[in-house]
């Protein structure tokens, strides 16, 4: 497995487009694969909005962090796990849990590959230099450098 060569600046530009699309009321369309996660900046205390791909599993929202624990939004969550989420037309507050267990992350990656084989397979190939359908062992190795975040909506009392 070679080093990840990915244009993070281009990704930030794409993320800005997703924020604009949500602001224009296109969340129900964009929200099929992208949600907006609002964290609290660990240094600034200011709200930070990050568009992220997700999977909804049993009422929780699973978010993969390709940059692992180095991702700013993950570091923000470690300092304060309280978040706001805007997915499709729904907004809610929740609590986030950062998971680093490679087996749980590999399980998540398998779900993503099953649900979105073309898109996630292409990411596996271009970003991680794996085959479009990596083996379980390859997913577990990849998971060593990634993180998973599980957001559970708060119960409305």
Give pLDDT tens digits for 139-153: 999 999 999 999 999
The interaxial angle of helices 136-143 and 102-115, nearest 10 deg, is 120
40-77 pLDDT, tens per residue?
999 999 999 999 999 999 999 999 998 899 999 999 99
Token pair belonging to 129: 């230099």
pTM across the whole model: 0.83
Q: What are phi and psi of 97, to 5 degrees?
A: -120, 125
Could you tell me if 34 and 51 are in contact, meaning their C-beta atoms sit under 8 angstroms apart? yes
Q: Would you call 74 helix, strand, or coil by DSSP?
A: helix
For 113-132, the pLDDT digits (tens) are 999 999 999 989 988 899 99
What pLDDT score does 121 carry?
A: 94
Domain ranges of the chain: 8-153
Q: State the residue for tokens 């993969």.
A: 64
The tens digit of pLDDT for each residue in 36-45 reads: 999 999 999 9
What does the pLDDT look like over 101-113, one tens digit per residue?
999 999 999 999 9
pLDDT reported for residue 6: 46
DSSP assignment string, 21-68: HHHTT-HHHHTTTEEEEEEE-TTT--EEEEEEE-EEETTEEEEEETTG
DSSP 83-116: EEEEETTEEEEEEEEEE--HHHHHHHHHHHHHH-
CATH number 2.30.30.180 given to 8-153: no
Structural element, H or E, at residue 121: helix 117-126
Q: What is the mean pLDDT of residues 12-36?
A: 70
What H or E segment, with its residue span, contains residue 148?
A: strand 147-153
pLDDT for residue 129: 92
Q: What is the mean pLDDT of residues 14-36?
A: 71
In this model, does residue 11 exceed pLDDT 60?
Answer: no
């Amino acid at each position: 497995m070679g080093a990840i060569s990915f244009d993070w600046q281009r990704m930030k530009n794409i993320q800005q487009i997703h924020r604009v699309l949500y602001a224009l009321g296109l969340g129900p369309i964009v929200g099929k694969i992208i949600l907006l996660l609002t964290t609290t900046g660990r240094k600034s205390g200011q709200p930070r909005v990050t568009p992220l791909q997700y999977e909804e599993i049993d009422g929780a929202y699973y978010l993969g962090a390709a940059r692992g624990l180095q991702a700013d939004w993950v570091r923000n969550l470690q300092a304060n796990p309280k978040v706001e989420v805007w997915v499709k037309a729904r907004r809610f507050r929740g609590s986030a849990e950062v998971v680093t267990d490679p087996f749980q992350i590999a399980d998540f990656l398998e779900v993503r590959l099953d649900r979105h084989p073309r898109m996630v397979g292409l990411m596996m190939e271009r970003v991680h230099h794996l085959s479009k359908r990596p083996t379980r062992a390859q997913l577990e190795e990849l998971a060593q450098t990634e993180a998973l975040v599980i957001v559970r909506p708060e119960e409305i009392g």
